[in-house]
Amino acid sequence: MRQLIRIALALVFVPAAAFADDMDGMSMHGGDAGASTFGAGVSVIAASFSPSQPDGMFYGGSYQGVMPSASWMMDRYSASASWSYYRMDRNGITAYGVGDLFTSAGVTLLRGSSYGAGVMMGAAFPTGAIEAGIGMGKPMVMPMMFASWHVGKIELNGTAGYSRMLGEPDDTMVHVMSLVEPMNMEEISWTAGGDYAITPSVRAGAKLAGGVPVGSEPGAVRVFGAGRVAWKRRGVDTGAELQAGLVGDPFDIRAVVTTGLTF
């Protein structure tokens, strides 16, 4: 249960980064009915990106970020929030600033001995500077479904959701959308991944994630792939993920290292 919620929390926290989710061992049953569990973590992100006229990508450069996060879980319910601070080097100019604030709340609707599924509502608040490429410029809502299934040492998980910008987009947004969390103004977002438990406390996996624009606003199909490894030691979950942009040029390559503590 806790495992399932964490997968979904991680994916909503950072829709595009999708940092090393799933770091809580293999059990689907946390035995946490009725008791609140709190989590705190931090992620470190580094990425590079290149211009591409066909994809409407007008910038080249790199960015680095630090992303603290907090979460709460009780039985089938969960909530989370994360913020970030970035250094952005874009077309020869460097800027520093906070990114958008991400929040989420979810509930698990189905759960069995080897599977689980639920729904989650994510929301992003435009605290990041759109001019620097570290914010969307408008609030976003991101309702989604999540599901997980495991057998033996293998676990498969995925999400599917709908993301939409609130309010009328500015025309300039076509040119300066968030580089750190590339997202269309209106899109279907998805992830699909799998993990293998190498030992009871170490696992490795891979995933694909992306977005498909819908609606009348301009957009671009986005896909990235990732390989990851995660381990747990003395209550501290740590994971490392290496991502590569495949379609739509969200970035060339991005590395995310996450560590978190549950109490």
Q: How far apart are CA 192 and CA 36, in angstroms?
A: 29
Shortest gap between Cβ of 58 and another protein (angstroms)? 3
Asked if 126 interacts with another protein (CB under 8 A), we say: yes
Number of residues in contact with another protein under rule CB under 8 A:
26
Q: How far apart are CA 184 and CA 231, in angstroms?
A: 33
Nearest Cα residue to 22 out of 135, 157, 141, 112: 157
Binding test (CB under 8 A) with another protein, winner from 68, 139, 143, 194: 139
Nearer to another protein, 56 or 194 (CB): 56
Which window, 104-112, 167-175, 238-246, 255-263, contacts another protein (CB under 8 A)? Answer: 167-175
Q: Is 117 exposed, middle or buried (0-12, 13-18, 19+ CB in 10 A)?
A: middle
Asked if 125 interacts with another protein (CB under 8 A), we say: yes
State the binding string over 63-102 for another protein (x if CB under 8 A, else -): ---------------------------xxxx-x-----x-
Nearer to another protein, 13 or 19 (CB): 13
Nearest Cα residue to 183 out of 227, 225, 221: 221
Q: List, in order, residues 6 or more apart from 146 with CB less than 8 Å away.
A: 4, 7, 8, 11, 106, 117, 118, 119, 120, 157, 158, 159
Q: Which residues are at the interface with another protein (CB under 8 A)?
A: 51, 53, 58-61, 90-93, 95, 101, 125-127, 131-132, 137-139, 167, 170-172, 175-176
